[in-house]
Chains A and B, each alone.
Chain A
Amino acid sequence: MSGFFKSIVRISSFIGKELRELIRRPGAVASLIFGPFLIMAIFGIGYRGYRDPFVTEVVTPADSKLPTDPGYYENLTEGRLNIVRVSHDEQAAIERLRKRQVDFVVAAPNNAAQQLRAGKQSVLHVSWNEVDPVADGLAQVAVNTLVHELNAEIIRQAADEGFKAAAAEGADVEQIPPEVIAEPTKAETQNLAPSKPDVLDFFGPAVFALVLQHLAVTLTALSMVRERLGGQMDRFRVSPLNSMELLIGKYVAYALFSLVISALVAALLVLVLGVPMLGGVLPFAGIVLLLTFASLGVGLLISLIADSERQAVQLSMLVLLASVFFSGFVLPVEEFIQPVRYLAYILPVTHGIDTLQESMLRGGIGDLWMLGALALIGVVLYVGSLLRLRRVLRSAI
């Protein structure tokens, strides 16, 4: 029984020591609390959620009867293109595109009417100069919209002329509005999601999960590496402390610290920035606990691999980078091929983002297997760290 109580004493000593060390760095603690909040606030205030329309030059044949008013073309593209000029010299327009003075050049065909009468399609030449794949995709969407709108406009005008001609010859035609002929169907949409989050609300839980993982990983990795390299581990090796006591002390201390930081950041997110928390506090706390447990395991793994503080920081940054790319933070996990998805599922934050968004924005807990995965990652890393630490502490070299 005395052995059990002494274990409690040793563990509590570790917890106290770790927390004291953390509290002795008030600047770091403040940045941990207010840093994520400030980032989210700036993001929420500064992010518009849309891109500026492409700066576009329309080129029409010199002898065509096409309108020369930029506003006419802007209306056709539903604001996706910002028409700054309507000109007649395609080469000059292309040169301006090369110099990136404009984003888009749309050249109208010079024989559209004859082509239509001849039963042939006319070709609209659209050029852009873009290396950003996202902008490239948006340009393609803008072109499709432009072509769709142009086609609809042509059909509408043709139907209108056809009805007028038939009526002039006394034909009894059932009047179908030209707009309906041009666009026979339209969509009426509804979103059944229980909340209507804006961009800030949607990314809030994701940033929170990412920051929580990064915090737990970095603090744990650095703490253990310092002890390994600073000689403290030698003292532990000679003392009666065992690997489980050391590990539990670290886990509990950093879990307590992470939970306090999480509570403060979450309060700021919900109360100040207005991010919804439909699922309530308990499911949120449960997810945070599991995410913290798994993330501490990642930090310990790094600390047992790294040879220096610098390497520990580098590895922590690599985990952060992998998390940004593969966790669903920026790009949906479903857009990756299957083997890469497995990599994503190894990262605690992948499950953290998904379950926190489900909890906060939908009021549920999402896929239960994700919570199970978080627990499994945590347990596997804990057991691995324990075995490794046992070797470090108790094996003479």
Chain B
Amino acid sequence: MQQPSTPSPSDRPVVELEHVTRRFNGLTAVDDLSLAIPAGAILGVIGPSGSGKTTAVRMATGMLNPTFGEIRVLGEVPARFSRKAREQIAYMPQLFSLYDDLTAGENINFVAGLFGTYWWKRGPVVRRALETVDLWDARDRLARDLSGGMQRRLELACALVHDPTVLFLDEPTAGIDPVLRQSIWSSLRGLADEGRTLLVTTQYVSDAEYCDRVVLLARGHLVAFDEPEALRRRAFGGDVLQVHTERAVDPEMLAGVAHLTSVRQDSPRRLTVVTADAGKSSPAIIETLRQQGVAVASVEEYQPSYDDAFAALVGADERAMQALAGEKTEPGGGA
């Protein structure tokens, strides 16, 4: 594959959305979404069904116009993409939209042709794309005879076949088993490492770990946008430590320890502590408890799952929204 030049940090983001809103007949599908993806990064757009992921992708690929806001991809407005820009973009739709009566190989060959790949160059690129998604052995099978997971992989291969610079993949891992999912993410990581830029939507929260940055959407609204690890920290207000002691302990004993955000007692001999800096807090906790006659059996950093983290973020966002709505409805509470 052609190696895109690695951009310098000062380069403009490959994909930029600024305060983008999209409404359908008064219903807001995407609300004031801003994000930027630098070259060579994977942005995961995570959210439940109906959260606005596909609408965002369709706007970024020029199929939908934003009601408000601005979008730029490769420096161009998507609705007016030049042919050169289109040749650098790949789009994988959410639903299978290839030809049932063509084989896997013929489908991918057709898509390569759509992007102007010359006949004599197609053999190797078709093979490489099919091998990337582990479908080379199924190249002569009709698309309608492929399983749902294989059809998704074929769609992904079609998105890769013309050697794109920017890829918009709408739920590429939907319906794919965990082992193959990992393999696909590994391939996507390889593409990003080559300097390609990827926007990938997914309903699987755990897919966040493969992304450089993650956008969390709910009801078309941006809940969070950050690196996955930072989002996990933000979900619980910092690092989470689990402190096990030799005898019963009172949470008040940790009142003087710096950086602590919260202390919760899970059992007489176990505390869950949230701290802004686990590295500094751990020795302080051990020392403080020791001074009060409580020996610490262990202090472990607890890694909450992304599911827990994102559920916490969405929950906090919902509470904030409800509070805001409550303020607005109270007399004298603003417009």
* Interaction A to B: yes
- A contacts, CB < 8 Å to B: 3, 5-7, 9-10, 12-14, 16-17, 20-21, 24-25, 230-232, 234-242, 395-397
Which residues of chain A are within 8 angstroms of B126 by Cβ–Cβ distance?
none
CB distance from A304 to the nearest CB of B (A): 18
Contact A9 B61 (CB under 8 A): no
Contact A237 B97 (CB under 8 A): no
A-B contact pairs, 17 of them (CB 8 A): A9-B116, A10-B114, A10-B116, A13-B109, A17-B99, A17-B113, A25-B101, A231-B95, A234-B58, A234-B93, A235-B97, A235-B158, A238-B61, A238-B63, A238-B89, A239-B115, A396-B64
Complex: chain A residue closest to B155, CB-CB: A235
Which residues of chain B are within 8 angstroms of A7 by Cβ–Cβ distance?
116
Complexed CA–CA distance, A25 and B89 (Å): 33
Complexed CA–CA distance, A230 and B102 (Å): 15
B111 interface residue (CB < 8 Å to A): yes
CB distance from B22 to the nearest CB of A (A): 11
Knowing A21-B99, A240-B86, the reply to whether A234 touches B113 (Cβ < 8 A) is no
Complex: chain A residue closest to B113, CB-CB: A13
Contact B102 A237 (CB under 8 A): no
Complexed CA–CA distance, A239 and B162 (Å): 10
Which residues of chain B are within 8 angstroms of A242 by Cβ–Cβ distance?
83
Contact B117 A235 (CB under 8 A): no
Which residues of chain A are within 8 angstroms of B102 by Cβ–Cβ distance?
17, 20-21, 24
Contact B116 A240 (CB under 8 A): yes
Contact B115 A397 (CB under 8 A): no
Complexed CA–CA distance, A396 and B59 (Å): 8
Contact A238 B62 (CB under 8 A): yes
Given contacts A9-B116, A9-B117, A238-B91, 13 further A-B contacts (CB under 8 A): A5-B118, A6-B116, A20-B106, A231-B95, A232-B97, A234-B93, A235-B91, A235-B93, A238-B63, A238-B86, A239-B114, A240-B83, A240-B114
Which residues of chain A are within 8 angstroms of B99 by Cβ–Cβ distance?
17, 21, 232
Contact B63 A9 (CB under 8 A): no
- B contacts, CB < 8 Å to A: 58, 61-65, 78-79, 83, 86-87, 89-91, 93, 95-99, 101-102, 106, 109-119, 142, 158, 168
Residue of A5, A20, A235 with most partner-chain B CB within 10 A: A235
Complexed CA–CA distance, A5 and B113 (Å): 11
Complexed CA–CA distance, A24 and B107 (Å): 13
Residue of A3, A14, A24 with most partner-chain B CB within 10 A: A24
Complexed CA–CA distance, A12 and B114 (Å): 9
Q: Looking at chain A's contact residues, is the secondary structure mostly helix, strand, loop, or mixed? A: helix
Taking a contact as CB atoms closer than 8 A, the residue among A5, A16, A230, A234 that contacts B63 in the complex is: A234
Complexed CA–CA distance, A237 and B117 (Å): 17
Complex: chain A residue closest to B78, CB-CB: A396
Which residues of chain B are within 8 angstroms of A230 by Cβ–Cβ distance?
97
Complex: chain B residue closest to A2, CB-CB: B116
Complexed CA–CA distance, A160 and B96 (Å): 92
Which residues of chain B are within 8 angstroms of A395 by Cβ–Cβ distance?
79
Complexed CA–CA distance, A234 and B90 (Å): 11
Taking a contact as CB atoms closer than 8 A, the residue among B62, B109, B111, B113 that contacts A235 in the complex is: B111
Which residues of chain B are within 8 angstroms of A231 by Cβ–Cβ distance?
93, 95-97
Complexed CA–CA distance, A16 and B110 (Å): 8
Complexed CA–CA distance, A352 and B97 (Å): 37
Knowing A20-B102, A21-B102, A396-B62, the reply to whether A236 touches B97 (Cβ < 8 A) is no
Complexed CA–CA distance, A24 and B142 (Å): 10
Which residues of chain A are within 8 angstroms of B112 by Cβ–Cβ distance?
13
Complexed CA–CA distance, A290 and B279 (Å): 81
Taking a contact as CB atoms closer than 8 A, the residue among B64, B83, B114 that contacts A236 in the complex is: B114
Contact A24 B78 (CB under 8 A): no
Complex: chain B residue closest to A397, CB-CB: B64
Contact A10 B113 (CB under 8 A): yes
Complex: chain B residue closest to A22, CB-CB: B101
CB distance from A389 to the nearest CB of B (A): 15
Residue of A5, A17, A396 with most partner-chain B CB within 10 A: A396
Contact A396 B63 (CB under 8 A): yes
Complexed CA–CA distance, A234 and B54 (Å): 13
Complexed CA–CA distance, A232 and B115 (Å): 14
Which residues of chain B are within 8 angstroms of A13 by Cβ–Cβ distance?
109-110, 112-114
Which residues of chain A are within 8 angstroms of B89 by Cβ–Cβ distance?
238
CB distance from A67 to the nearest CB of B (A): 73
Give me the 3 closest cross-chain CB pairs, A-B, nearest first.
Answer: A13-B113, A231-B97, A6-B116
Complex: chain B residue closest to A241, CB-CB: B114
CB distance from B163 to the nearest CB of A (A): 13
Which residues of chain A are within 8 angstroms of B113 by Cβ–Cβ distance?
9-10, 12-14, 16-17
Complexed CA–CA distance, A134 and B232 (Å): 85
Which residues of chain B are within 8 angstroms of A14 by Cβ–Cβ distance?
110, 113
Complex: chain A residue closest to B98, CB-CB: A232
CB distance from B60 to the nearest CB of A (A): 10
Complexed CA–CA distance, A397 and B64 (Å): 5
Which residues of chain B are within 8 angstroms of A236 by Cβ–Cβ distance?
114
Complexed CA–CA distance, A241 and B111 (Å): 10
